[in-house]
Structure 1
């Protein structure tokens, strides 16, 4: 993490006063865009927590979303081993790209990042389930209530275990595990949680195990 005023230690001479900055979604891991920063834009980003670049075409500071409202909220940032590039974790408010896509590199996305997209889809179904319960299976689940959702998680967990024991190929196990994860995501969203909460808990347990070794 860049501590206050650590930007003074960055290698500003290599790229004539500019540092390339890779912006990555803090939750999904999706790479959102690439920009350039100078000392002034880093200071403004520190102050406002809204990622600000130096625009080479406009020849001025440019805060992402200053016109569209699609800002990038700073979560954390790191410099590379040579101190001449930045990796910035951010939470976007709206599409990052001017083409109205989540990333300027669309459709390039890592497989694991789709999990975050799926959570957003599931969450949108939760919001409409109260008045349109039959528009989709997910909406129907939410309209059925938490007991039914929890029951489905239990059923799919058992079917996944049975598939692992009895199947001669992996296809059935993949299918059942997919059903299990989907229903688990529905349950978590029902309780206003997301999969990142699970990942954070696993990281804590992993760190505790390292301390106890």
Structure 2
């Protein structure tokens, strides 16, 4: 079973890459792309389409892979907009909270 903290770990890595901008990092390339935010928005659109197609094809492996890609790019967008996972959790808690 996956580590419950994987989203926190991934978001932390994204934030680190945003700060340090290491060469050769895909995450760095998203933060420094000449299109800026639009590059990430385009990736979100692409990954969403791929996720939908995987679901329609009942391709479980592809559904998981595309879902992971979508979540990753969503986390990059949150980081770009200086929105934290805690803020996202608070929003979810307000809507569906305990």
What is the alpha-carbon distance in structure 2 between the residues aligned to residue 127 and residue 154 of structure 1? 25
Give the equivalent residue in structure 2 for 1:162.
Answer: 53
Give the equivalent residue in structure 1 for 2:31.
Answer: 142
* Count of equivalent residues: 95
What is the alpha-carbon distance in structure 2 between the residues aligned to residue 196 and residue 155 of structure 1? 26
For structure 1, list consecutive stretches of 5 or more residues without a partner in the other structure. 1-109
Name the Cα RMSD after superposition. Answer: 1.8
Give the equivalent residue in structure 2 for 1:124.
Answer: 16
SS at match of 1:111: coil
Quote how far apart the aligned CAs of 1:196 are: 2.4
Quote how far apart the aligned CAs of 1:205 are: 1.3
- Greater helix fraction, Structure 1 or Structure 2: 2
For structure 2, list consecutive stretches of 5 or more residues without a partner in the other structure. none
State the TM-score, normalized to the length of structure 2: 0.85
1:181 aligns with 2:71: yes
State the TM-score, normalized to the length of structure 1: 0.41
What is the alpha-carbon distance in structure 2 between the residues aligned to residue 120 and residue 135 of structure 1? 18
Question: Residues 33-112 of structure 1 correspond to what in structure 2 (within 5 A)?
Answer: 111-112=3-4
Give the equivalent residue in structure 2 for 1:88.
Answer: none
Which protein has the larger Cα radius of gyration, Structure 1 or Structure 2?
A: 1
Looking at both structures, which has the greater relative contact order when contacts are Cα pairs under 8 Å and sequence separation is at least 6? Answer: 2
- Greater strand fraction, Structure 1 or Structure 2: 1
